[in-house]
Structure 1
Amino acid sequence: MRKKTLFSVLIFCAATLSAQNWEPLFNGKNLKGWTKLNGKAEYKVVDDAIVGISKMGTPNTFLATTKNYGDFILEFDFKVDDGLNSGVQFRSESKKEYQKGRVHGYQFEIDPAKRAWSGGIYDEARRAWLYPLTLNPSARTAFKNNAWNKARIEAVGNSIRTWVNDVPCANIWDDMTPVGFIALQVHAIGKADDEGKTVSWKNIRICTTDVARYQTSDKQDAPEVNLIANTISPREAKEGWALLWDGKTNEGWRGARLNTFPTKGWKMEDGILKVMKSGGAESANGGDIVTTRKYKNFILTVDFKITEGANSGIKYFVSPDLNKGEGSAIGCEFQILDDDKHPDAKLGVKGNRKLGSLYDLIPAPENKPFNKKEFNTATVIVKDNHVEHWLNGVKLIEYDRNTDMFNALVAYSKYKNWPNFGNHVEGNILLQDHGDEVWFKNVKIKELK
């Protein structure tokens, strides 16, 4: 009997301790502890919920906590009318020196539209989308329209993860803002028909004590995106990722026709590897650079940013000693190009020299997710003879090497005279100097078995 009583006491104490680690952010009665920022949309308390009401002629409106939070687990229930976009800010700020006090920072997306990105992470008034649900399509079914939904955000150190109705949605590794307020958003509207629509929140609670103890297991994660430049996160290291460029030195790289790194034509500064402008000729200045190692099966990711009218490329299965004459080293190429301004986009066959294409062989789709003014992520996946090109999380093309179809494509391309083109068991990885300024960072590889 005494053992049973002691056990009951221990269970009660554990439950009490757990409850004490959570505190309500909303008392269910009024908006004490919150303040309105930026816009003029209305917030009121109805049936134990905070209700935001959309209004024409006003920018995004935020109801922000008067306290800031660093590491935390935040939970809340939310419901939104069709046609009204919304979100919940966290680790966010409003400073006079930043766009006259405009709220900026991480946002948990609330999206009842067909796109269905609820639970994705947007960077309000700063970097835009950090984690659209194109990166985790299975999570798009988690949100339920015209119903209450449960949200969870875990922000612990550089790790930020989200859930909707217990489904893992987003997962980023980032260090831009470690502390900030939490805010409920009523988004600006552009149609009078949307005025008066509502978004509601209730059961808003936060845990800020012993947070790591209550973190969800990483076995219940969405795929991770590392936003800290030229680093490998603990999750990436566990999964076998490694940096191909360390963000500072030329270690692991050499000129395609050199035993050392080029002394001109390339620059490393502020965590960016730049091939410099030199008139647009192919490999005529600093020259291409290649990895000192060869690779067989892998996932390669490279963030790149082009300048106006630029041409470059990421090559794989490269044989640096194959081409002894002018021009670039020979290998399969993920084309990097300003399709609008560079003449090469109009050459080749059916657009097979445009951005994302397997250069001069297989064209990428015309409609592809590309932002000319920002960094974009190119991904090449090679598993034995199967190869895929991805751009910003969207698959552009896939093909199989060492097949009659592939060899036929090569036979009608500029590579027809190069023996065994694209069919080698392994090769170097190359970043191309095509005489235009292009920036690279976050060059990473995961070798596959």
Structure 2
Amino acid sequence: MFNGKNLDGWEQLNGKAKYEVKNGEIIGTTVPKEPNSFLATKEQYGDFILELELLVNNEMNSGIQIRSESKPDYQNNRVHGYQVEVDPSARAWSGGIYDEARRGWLYPMDINPKGQKAFRKDAWNKYRIECIGNSIRTWVNGVPTANVVDSMTPSGFIALQVHGIYGDMQPGMQIRWRNIRIQTSNLKPSKMDDIYVVNLVPNDLSKQEQAEGFAMLWDGETTKGWLSAKTRTKFPESGWSIANGELHVQEAKGQESTNGGDIITEKQYKAFEMKFDFKLDEGANSGVKYFVTLAEQTQGSAIGLEYQILDDARHPDAKLGRDGNRTLASLYDLITSKKIPNGQHKIGEWNQGLIRVYPDNRVEHWLNGFKVLEYTRGSEEFKQLVQASKYKDWKNFGMAEKGHILLQDHGNHVAFRSIKIKEL
């Protein structure tokens, strides 16, 4: 892709950072008062394996654009698309995948702690990027760093980014690239890795997810495997609908469990990892509950540990409870979720939730690849939280050995899809 002598086959887009060729390297240098700059290939690439080496100033940020675009009708030719991160900061997200000028983080490296250790400061780092079909995978120095399945953009240019500088950052910082090479035919994907898969294709199980033991908890088409929490014999006849691979809770003016009511899995689960996508209407409220036994007699929703699903800005429940412990992704009425800047997608857009329950009773809530809380069932801290909550009168709340998983009908329109589970 790079002949080592000049920038033939490349063109600069957006910002005016300096790009030059020296000693068989492409050198990018930051300049003041300029937005992100991109040195892009004139050729478009769909499926490929890309390898390159880079050395970056520890005080700057950069990235490698893949399957990217620049169009007059999109933010006045702004470069957008998948970016493989170059991040020498303490955050250590090198190798993660960001959707530049579009959806934001697709694979933040919080979800892959081993991969965070791959990048080396003050040294050349080797990147490998495989784009084959819907699969986008990355490695840094031979360590797997990101695994994304997505179909939004099947092809586009490749570009080398020099990030705009801001605040006290100084101009003149450099990133150097060398040994840039690409393979576009006879592609053979690397063997399966063991890192977390972010799958953005609706109701799809990638080969790696299947190999890891994931199965669809909802098949995307029928009510198979789910029952009414009220009757426990069949799926609700009203209040829920299925359309276009989405499972919808119907609007009922916010009246909790008075329309179709909650739905539960036929099967009960002990330790598990559950992935699910959800989309909220404005002002909507719902939740995913686990370790639901239905032993309690309630007028509204069934009792269980709850991953809260809420429009925090518009629903009054966000201001109730204690210290925000009824906000999005919180353990409802018990533990407040950590709020990550840009970690929540806009109302009306899909978010990805993740609940992990380990065999030793440790539990984690994740939102869009960010861990937002963790706790241990049965610990003294957990017991104290229960005693300070609305659940204090329920004996052994949250401590069932196993239980159903529940999707809540809180009387607001909420959609679910891509519901998957792996038993641990």
SS at match of 1:137: coil
Partner of 1:394: 371
Q: What aligned pairs does 1:137-148 form with structure 2 within 5 A after superposition?
A: 137-148=113-124
CA gap of 1:283–1:67, structure 2 versus 1, over 3 A, is same
Q: What aligned pairs does 1:354-365 form with structure 2 within 5 A after superposition?
A: 354-360=327-333, 362-365=334-337
Deviation of residue 416 (structure 1)? 4.7
Structure 1 range deviating more: 330-339 or 408-417:
408-417
Deviation of residue 409 (structure 1)? 5.4
Determine if the alignment matches structure 1 residue 55 to structure 2 residue 31.
yes
Q: What aligned pairs does 1:161-200 form with structure 2 within 5 A after superposition?
A: 161-191=137-167, 193-200=169-176
**What is the alpha-carbon distance in structure 1 between the residues aligned to residue 152 and residue 46 of structure 2?**
12
On the 8 A contact 1:276/1:437 being kept in 2, the answer is yes
Give, as a single letter, the amino acid of the residue that structure 1 aligns with 2:284: A
Determine if the alignment matches structure 1 residue 237 to structure 2 residue 210.
yes
Deviation of residue 66 (structure 1)? 1.8
Structure 1 range deviating more: 65-74 or 187-196:
187-196
**What is the alpha-carbon distance in structure 1 between the residues aligned to residue 167 and residue 326 of structure 2?**
42
CA gap of 1:133–1:404, structure 2 versus 1, over 3 A, is closer
Deviation of residue 129 (structure 1)? 1.0
Structure 1 range deviating more: 303-312 or 81-90:
303-312
Deviations along 1:98-139, one digit per CA (max 9) or x if unpaired, are 333322221111112221211111111222111111111222
Partner of 1:371: 344
Match of 2:73 among 91, 94, 97: 97
On the 8 A contact 1:74/1:152 being kept in 2, the answer is yes
Give, as a single letter, the amino acid of the residue that structure 2 aligns with 1:375: W
Q: Which runs of 4+ in 1 moved over 6 A?
A: none
Partner of 1:446: 422
On the 8 A contact 1:297/1:447 being kept in 2, the answer is yes
Partner of 1:225: 198
Q: What aligned pairs does 1:308-323 form with structure 2 within 5 A after superposition?
A: 308-320=282-294, 322-323=296-297
On the 8 A contact 2:337/2:372 being kept in 1, the answer is no
Deviation of residue 240 (structure 1)? 1.1
**What is the alpha-carbon distance in structure 2 between the residues aligned to residue 383 and residue 149 of structure 1?**
35
On the 8 A contact 1:354/1:363 being kept in 2, the answer is no
Match of 2:97 among 118, 121, 127: 121
**What is the alpha-carbon distance in structure 1 between the residues aligned to residue 345 and residue 63 of structure 2?**
27
Deviation of residue 234 (structure 1)? 0.6
> 5+ unaligned residues in a row in structure 2: which ranges?
none
Determine if the alignment matches structure 1 residue 76 to structure 2 residue 76.
no
Structure 1 range deviating more: 26-35 or 338-347:
338-347
**What is the alpha-carbon distance in structure 1 between the residues aligned to residue 241 and residue 313 of structure 2?**
26
Determine if the alignment matches structure 1 residue 267 to structure 2 residue 241.
yes
Match of 1:285 among 259, 265, 279: 259
On the 8 A contact 2:214/2:422 being kept in 1, the answer is yes
**What is the alpha-carbon distance in structure 2 between the residues aligned to residue 352 and residue 60 of structure 1?**
38
On the 8 A contact 1:56/1:192 being kept in 2, the answer is no
SS at match of 1:274: strand
On the 8 A contact 1:230/1:247 being kept in 2, the answer is yes
SS at match of 2:5: coil
Deviation of residue 351 (structure 1)? 4.5
Q: CA RMSD of the aligned region, Å?
A: 2.6
Partner of 1:329: 302
CA gap of 1:32–1:353, structure 2 versus 1, over 3 A, is closer
CA gap of 1:88–1:357, structure 2 versus 1, over 3 A, is closer
**What is the alpha-carbon distance in structure 2 between the residues aligned to residue 253 and residue 184 of structure 1?**
48
TM-score (norm 2): 0.89
Partner of 1:295: 269
Deviation of residue 372 (structure 1)? 5.1
On the 8 A contact 1:74/1:206 being kept in 2, the answer is yes
Computing the radius of gyration from Cα coordinates, the structure with the larger value is 1
On the 8 A contact 1:357/1:397 being kept in 2, the answer is no
SS at match of 2:235: coil
Deviation of residue 447 (structure 1)? 1.6
SS at match of 1:99: coil
SS at match of 2:115: helix
**What is the alpha-carbon distance in structure 1 between the residues aligned to residue 164 and residue 35 of structure 2?**
5
Partner of 1:21: none
> 5+ unaligned residues in a row in structure 1: which ranges?
1-24
TM-score (norm 1): 0.84
SS at match of 2:76: helix
CA gap of 1:26–1:443, structure 2 versus 1, over 3 A, is same
On the 8 A contact 2:227/2:235 being kept in 1, the answer is yes
Deviations along 1:203-241, one digit per CA (max 9) or x if unpaired, are 1111223220xx43224x533222212111111111111
Partner of 1:106: 82
On the 8 A contact 2:57/2:175 being kept in 1, the answer is yes
Partner of 2:133: 157
**What is the alpha-carbon distance in structure 2 between the residues aligned to residue 140 and residue 426 of structure 1?**
34
Give, as a single letter, the amino acid of the residue that structure 1 aligns with 2:228: G
Deviation of residue 355 (structure 1)? 3.4
Structure 1 range deviating more: 78-87 or 412-421:
412-421
Partner of 2:413: 437
**What is the alpha-carbon distance in structure 1 between the residues aligned to residue 63 and residue 97 of structure 2?**
9
Give, as a single letter, the amino acid of the residue that structure 1 aligns with 2:82: Y
